[in-house]
Chains A and B, each alone.
Chain A
């Protein structure tokens, strides 16, 4: 039926939205020489990230997003979508071809890609942590759990053995690793435990940004559920700005409020996570969601 009363135009309120902690603009990573024709010869419409012009691979192109403190942003897509490339560029493991990433720190904004390797290293110690899919990438297997956590602490300047141990126990307790295993070599832990140690290590210096690359892929379902639960409560507790890369929508659903869908190196859809799951627009997103629901 019609409105009871016509109010005409409404006075519009300004909404206060949390400021970004990490802002990525037009990030791109190409393997091989490229120009405009190479770029336009790749992407979702073409159906490939490898250029027919010269064989260059446009692993990621024109990726932009913001993440606020306490917010978790998802990057979802199948393998080859470019989501891991984006994460690795932000982690500093891979150099981007173009684009900017700005990080808000207590001393002002930092342009991450303009830092030299020493400053980039300091960033990884103090501000930005990474949890890799394979624990062997983020941990030293022949070092104890406590020793792995001691690494970022000593890199940040901790020199008191007792305090280092206290902090390591605190973190391991919080990530539900049995304290009596603190001195065991990480190699001897189960997959799920290794991930927990990796998470504990990532939190050692209270980073404001944490990147998760397929944090539970390869773990048993029940083990994965526990790890996801842990990650979710840690993100809430510490108001961390997080990026979660996964091919698994259930992980995205559990951890993130907003999400980017990537295909062949491009972002094809960018929406709230519940929107993507219940009202996906892009054909690729619809396929992914249908497959996840199956």
Chain B
């Protein structure tokens, strides 16, 4: 009977018991039903510290089954220490397989990047979010924030964009650019680069955002309108480094990052870079 199953699973070695999974799934459903709306949830203790992807991890654990294939990246890299750690936690806890090829994965958990390719209608992208509140820079009061979202009163956000443009000539927000989802809620896309923002618009895949420390889940369902906030006469521009190409695969079709204090550029998505090299070899 239901209660017995629940008690059984509570005594298992899984990181999230069935109670927890239910609650998180309900939160995810609410989030998907109201695109861009931040759904509060009871964030559990995880074996990763707060600020290191505990929210994303909880979402992944709640949606993954043992027949899923999981890819975990950190800034585009499958081999980063955190990515490796998280991937191990997920696979041992859920019994799912792992891969580094996005096209083969059914669930992709990521910190700071969307993989360059391979996401389709079957994919779920889980993004780790440190600060889910896009208005945090312009307002501190919780009730006022709730009112602003409830009444779609984003004028203070617009004023900060205005001030930014006045002061700097351009809107300087780089990662985590605020976007209007489904013509209704403004979300923090933190912390993916501008490069990835246009890919959220009308995407074929489902994107879930998890903030463990702040205890919020929000979602962008497939085929949803996502517009970066900008003035109609100030075009939204993605990152661009003149003449830069990846020092490994020689391409500039993917998002590039430079090594500190150097002019050496490399693809952020390491797996994409590897496949590109293999294809041209």
Contact = CB atoms under 8 A, between A and B. Distances in A.
Contacts of B165: 161
Contacts of B153: 121, 155
15 contacts: A118-B151, A121-B151, A121-B153, A144-B163, A144-B166, A146-B166, A147-B159, A151-B155, A151-B158, A152-B155, A154-B158, A155-B158, A161-B162, A163-B233, A164-B162
A143 B163 CA distance: 7
A13 B154 CA distance: 54
A160 B151 contact: no
A281 interface: no
Interface majority SS (helix, strand, loop, mixed), chain A: helix
Interface string A149-178: 011101100011111100000000000000
B231 interface: yes
B205 to A, nearest CB: 29
A274 interface: no
A148 B155 CA distance: 11
Contacts of B232: 159-161
A183 B166 contact: yes
Most A C-beta atoms less than 10 A away, residue of B159, B167, B231: B159
B253 interface: no
Interface residues of A, number: 21
Interface in B140-172: 147, 151, 153-156, 158-159, 162-163, 165-167
Given A144-B166, A155-B153, A161 B159 contact: no
A152 to B, nearest CB: 8
Interface of B: 147, 151, 153-156, 158-159, 162-163, 165-167, 231-234
Interface in A85-128: 117-118, 121
Given A144-B163, A147-B163, A155-B153, A160 B233 contact: yes
Nearest to B229: A159
Contacts of B162: 146-147, 150, 154, 161, 164
Nearest to B156: A151
B151 A117 contact: yes
B70 to A, nearest CB: 41
Contacts of A147: 159, 162-163, 166
Q: Across the A-B interface, give the 6 residue pairs with the lowest CB-CB distance, nearest first.
A: A154-B158, A161-B231, A155-B155, A150-B162, A154-B155, A159-B232
Which of B147, B165, B232 has most A Cβ within 10 Å? B232
A58 B151 CA distance: 33
A155 B162 CA distance: 13
A155 to B, nearest CB: 4
A124 B211 CA distance: 35
B231 A159 contact: yes
B155 to A, nearest CB: 4
A143 B232 CA distance: 22
A150 B158 contact: yes
Nearest to A150: B162
Interface in A20-47: none
B185 to A, nearest CB: 15
A12 B148 CA distance: 56
Contacts of A154: 154-155, 158-159, 162
B166 to A, nearest CB: 5
Contact of A143 (B151, B159, B231): B159
A162 B234 CA distance: 9
Given A121-B151, A161-B234, 20 more contacts: A117-B147, A121-B153, A143-B163, A144-B166, A146-B166, A147-B162, A147-B166, A148-B159, A150-B158, A151-B155, A151-B156, A151-B158, A151-B159, A154-B158, A155-B153, A155-B155, A160-B231, A161-B162, A162-B233, A164-B231
B156 A161 contact: no
Contacts of A118: 151
Q: Which of A121, A147, A155, A183 has the most CB of B within 10 A?
A: A147
A143 B166 CA distance: 11
Given A146-B162, A147-B163, A161 B233 contact: yes
A147 B138 CA distance: 13
A163 B231 CA distance: 10
A150 B8 CA distance: 59
Contacts of A143: 159, 163
A66 B231 CA distance: 41
A175 B147 CA distance: 32
A12 to B, nearest CB: 52
Nearest to A148: B159
A162 B232 CA distance: 9
A102 to B, nearest CB: 24
A184 to B, nearest CB: 10
Most chain B CB neighbours (cut-off 10 Å) among A118, A160, A161: A161
A151 B163 CA distance: 11
Contacts of B167: 183
A152 B158 CA distance: 10
A159 B167 CA distance: 18
